[in-house]
Amino acid sequence: MGDFFRKQLFNIIAAVFLALFVIVWGSVLIQVWVFVPVVPGTPPELNGAVVCAAGALSTSLSSLTASALGFTIAEVRREEQSSGEAAGKAQAGVFDAGGITTKLSGRVITALMVYLAIGLLVLGVWLVKGTASSDLIGAFSLSLLGWIIGAAGVVFQTEKPSSEPHAAG
């Protein structure tokens, strides 16, 4: 039994972290979604501990996923540059995004998907509820949009141009 936990320790830590993220943000989303303000546009009052936990978890997961992507991109770029130098080719600085996705661990991919899924739900609640949501919802929504813009920049930057000539239409 101890050997199982020893082999699965990182997976257990990742699962607990992601479960906490989902539970805390699920709680926030439910509280904001079902809240009916007495005065239109009034946000719900959220428990201070929930606000702190939600902020810490979302900031942490955003940073962790962004850094994992950044480190993986740097690793793939180094490998491609060294293989290009060995073959006597100069690299143009653009590399195959497929190399990045194959190097990401299952934990990182799961974290990315959880962050995006919950983030998109938070963004949806923020857009629907507007001022009747909370500053916490708005802050996470803006943070998610910034994260998506950064990720999109990486996606478009890593795209290799086709080596086939395009037919003029």
- What is the structure's pLDDT at 73? 80
The whole-angstrom separation of Cα 74 and Cα 35 is 45
The answer to whether residue 41 is domain-embedded is: no
Residues sharing a CB contact under 8 Å with residue 22, sequence separation 6 or more, in sequence order: 114, 118
Question: How many independent structural domains does the chain possess?
Answer: 1
The reply to whether 163 falls in a domain is no
| CB 95, CB 77: distance < 8 Å | yes
Q: What is the dihedral of CA 8, 9, 10, 12, to 10 degrees?
A: 80
Mean pLDDT, 10 residues at a time, the chain of 169 residues: 84 95 96 88 90 95 89 80 66 60 87 95 93 90 92 72 51
137 found inside a domain? yes
* Residue at 122 is within a domain: yes
The pTM for the full model equals 0.80
Kindly state whether residue 167 falls inside one of the protein's structural domains: no
Pseudo-torsion of CA 84, 86, 89, 94, nearest 10°? 10
Distance in angstroms (rounded) separating the CA atoms of residues 39 and 98: 51
Print the domain residue range for 78.
2-33+46-158
